[in-house]
Amino acid sequence: MTIEYLKKADKTAASGEDDTRKIVSDMLSAIEAGGEDKVREYAAKLDNYTGNIVVTPEEIAAATAKVPRQVKDDIQFAYDRVRGFAEKQRQALIDFEVELSPGLFAGQKQIPVATAGCYVPGGRYSHVASAVMSVATAKAAGVDHVIACSPPKPGAGVNPAIIYTANLCGADTILALGGVQGIAAMAFGLFTGHAADILVGPGNRFVAEAKRMLFGRVGIDLFAGPTEIAIIADKTADPALVASDLVGQAEHGLDTPCWLITLDRALGKKVMELVPELIAKLPDTARTAAEASWRDYGEVVLCSDREEAAQVSDDYAGEHLEVQAEDLDWWVNRLRNYGSLFVGEETTVAFGDKCSGTNHILPTKGAGRYTGGLSAGKFIKTVTTQRMSREANREVASACARISRLEGMEAHARTGDDRLFKYFPKESFSLQPEPFE
């Protein structure tokens, strides 16, 4: 490759992971041993919150009353599209049965998990959209019990808009808990009596690490790190929109990677000029985050042709990937590794993040190489079934016995022998593998 970095990041998504792991490991162990009392202790210590952990119907009603009509309409707009898209995903997951050979039938069934735990961030920003993405998708998949969990504010509890949204989307229980203690409470079934079968939703590095450590004991949506944006742009792209989209994602946090992959040096240079100007105009919280994000994690990569740019993009496997370039169909057909693809300048990451219908809980840290984002299918177990006639045992049991003996597994082989002897007592079968020369 002949790529050139016009701007190279000083840090990577792995920076600072060791300290996080130690803190999270200690907290999970303490909560598993101490139960609900330990969770309340962490809530008081870390969030300065001593109110109800389980949000009551009265608190839901009070929160609903605080949400303005226009806000409710906007949330409904997002809900209708996300729920509708998730329902289409669910419909694409089908049960079937096929006859593989005479009398041998194999099939699959789609079974939703019983309980899903949905984490909704509420720290630096109150992520109302995350409640839609996780809770509505779980319900569209057919999950029986959905727990929504979100950090409370001291003396105020969970953000009213998050409570309203989680309730609208069908959450069966809402917990006023944040961070590791919230993830642990859902995983261990504290306060609800329903231990989560799967944990989903975005969060900070402590939330992501808690989910990673619990994986195996429970399912998770994906291994998540800081949110990312990658933009592929050629000479036809509008540098102002490219810069705006990079900054739009950079406000997420101090460690948000922002990558521009460009085929045009002049465009790359112009974007590098515009980004600091746009960041300087942001409110304080967003400006602080975006400055660090762009300074430490921002990159601008200059490529010689579109094939090279596509390969660089696939190597990054960005969580959000925008393409602002000529011949959009070529890029859609060529690109392989990403969480969600935004085709053309008319769409942007923020649209997908908030309300356009696709899910914003997506793979980061290169996970787009092997997984997609949250979908109805993440809440579904695809399980297999088989049945067969006695006649089918002639072939299946004989083959199974021979393969089992080839492997040295005699007890396995005899389960096939026994059926043959029962079903066909007057017949003889070849039950030994042929020897190797």
Pairing of strands 229-233, 258-262: parallel
Strand ranges, E, within 31-103: 96-101
Q: Are 34 and 42 within 8 A, CB to CB?
A: no
Residue 295's nearest CA partner among 278, 268, 275 is 275
Nearest-angstrom CA–CA distance, 362 and 372 = 7
Let me know the angle formed at the C-alpha of 176 by 173 and 177, rounded to the nearest 5 degrees.
110
Helix axes 160-169, 57-66, angle to 10 degrees: 110
Q: Tokens representing 101?
A: 């050979």
Q: Three-state SS for 155?
A: coil
Distance CA 340, CA 337 (A): 9
Burial 166-201 (b: 16+ CB within 10 A, else e): bbbbbbbbbbbbbbbbbbbbbbbebbbebbbbbbbb
The two structure tokens encoding residue 80: 């209708």
Task: Phi first, then psi: give them for residue 313, nearest 5 degrees.
Answer: -60, -45
Q: Which of 59, 209, 319, 322 is catalytic?
A: 319
Do the beta carbons of residue 361 and residue 201 sit within 8 Å?
Answer: yes
Nearest by Cα to 188 from 47, 30, 52, 23: 30
**Torsion over CA: 129, 369, 332, 4 (sign):** positive
Q: What H or E segment, with its residue span, contains residue 209?
A: helix 205-214
Which has the closest alpha carbon to 195: 145, 141, 130, 136? 145
Q: Which residues contact 65 (CB under 8 A, 6 or more apart)?
A: none
Helix (H) or strand (E) holding 35: helix 17-47
d(CA 226, CA 3): 25
Question: Could you tell me if 224 and 368 are in contact, meaning their C-beta atoms sit under 8 angstroms apart?
Answer: no
| Catalytically annotated residue among 127, 145, 252, 320 | 320
* Three-state DSSP state, 302: strand
Q: Is 412 a catalytic residue?
A: no
Catalytic residues: 319-320
